[in-house]
Amino acid sequence: MSKSALAKLGFAVLGWFIGALFFFPIFWIAVTSFKSESDAATASLIFQPTLDAFVGIFTGTDYFLNVRNSIFLSFGSTILCFILAIPSAYRMAFYPTQKTQSLLLWMLSTKMMPAVGVLIPIYLVWKWLHLFDTVIGLIIVNALMNLPIAVWMAYTYFSEVPKGILEAGRIDGATAGQELWHLLRPMTMPGLSSTALLLIILSWNEAFWSLNLTGHDSAPLTAFIASQTGSQGQTLAALSAASLLAIGPIMIMGWFTQKQLVRGLTFGAVK
């Protein structure tokens, strides 16, 4: 075997080993979720698979309510975020002024406030406004938190559209609405839809505000999972089943948004 082929084999073994190591806790959730509660208490791979744990969480808890809240929260905040972000991104990308760059930076800098710095006032204001323990209250918080990312991403995708195409459209007499729908939408759709996926993932997994601003009624999955205390070792299969369903779909979405994740979370500093 040549030296480079040997090196390649070494990299492959190491690369796969490390991948397996990082993934092992997730694999273990999946395994445990198909065990009976008594099997779940031992770390064995030999067991009689059963769906009891899944049946248990669907019949014994308000799991559907939490799933529904998480779906409303992540899709609702993403839609709200886009409604607020698109007009500004459009304006900044196609009609920039001297102030555009400073404005963009100011928006990004709002993302840098640690949530804990505004926990107390938001908690109190949300109670005063009767937004506490409501899904709509959480949707607003998440939309505002993700707004700078959405503006930034939409701005960069709009900026990549060749200016000549829009001008040609205008010469042909397209109105602003037609321009948006027939020219911009198809050209920026791939970028914008993966941005939407990224925002859905971020708000699906957001836990700081969902733990502090929800009670029973509006608790999304993050809060539901946190409340599953049970005595140690007794409800491991149920916990695993609930966890697996909470992270499975979102992880698959995450795998498809890697590039947008890097771009969105570093504000374009790394591409």
Site for another protein in 152-181 (CB under 8 A): none
The distance of closest approach from Cβ of residue 219 to another protein in the complex, given in angstroms and rounded to an integer, is 11
| Footprint of another protein on 14-73 (CB under 8 A) | 14-16, 18-20, 22-23, 25-26, 28-29, 32, 40-43
| Footprint of another protein on 250-269 (CB under 8 A) | 250-251, 253-255, 258-259, 261-262, 265-269
The distance of closest approach from Cβ of residue 233 to another protein in the complex, given in angstroms and rounded to an integer, is 4
264: which 2 tokens? 């969105």
For 175-209, give the secondary structure using H, E and C: CHHHHHHHHHHHHHHHHHHHHHHHHHHHHHHCCHH
Part of the chain binding another protein (CB under 8 A), chosen from 60-68, 111-119, 129-137, 188-196: 111-119
Kindly provide the b/e burial profile for residues 83-111, where b requires at least 16 CB atoms within 10 angstroms of the residue's own CB.
Answer: ebbbebbbebbeeeeeeeeebbeebeeee
Within 8 A by CB and 6+ apart from 204, the residues are 70, 73, 74, 220, 221, 250
Among 65, 67, 79, 108, binds another protein (CB under 8 A): 108
The distance of closest approach from Cβ of residue 182 to another protein in the complex, given in angstroms and rounded to an integer, is 19
The distance of closest approach from Cβ of residue 259 to another protein in the complex, given in angstroms and rounded to an integer, is 8
The distance of closest approach from Cβ of residue 60 to another protein in the complex, given in angstroms and rounded to an integer, is 17
| Footprint of another protein on 67-96 (CB under 8 A) | 83-85, 87-88, 90-92, 95-96
Distance in angstroms (rounded) separating the CA atoms of residues 132 and 140 = 11
The distance of closest approach from Cβ of residue 55 to another protein in the complex, given in angstroms and rounded to an integer, is 20
Among 49, 55, 64, 109, binds another protein (CB under 8 A): 109
Count of Cβ atoms closer than 10 Å to residue 210 Cβ: 25
Among 6, 99, 185, 189, binds another protein (CB under 8 A): 99
Binding mask 183-222 for another protein (x = CB under 8 A): ------------------x--xx-xx--xx--------xx
For another protein, how many residues bind (rule: CB under 8 A)? 102
- Separation of CA 26 from chain center: 18
Q: Would you say 134 or 206 has its CB closer to another protein?
A: 206
The distance of closest approach from Cβ of residue 220 to another protein in the complex, given in angstroms and rounded to an integer, is 9
Distance in angstroms (rounded) separating the CA atoms of residues 177 and 189 = 16
Q: Would you say 115 or 165 has its CB closer to another protein?
A: 115
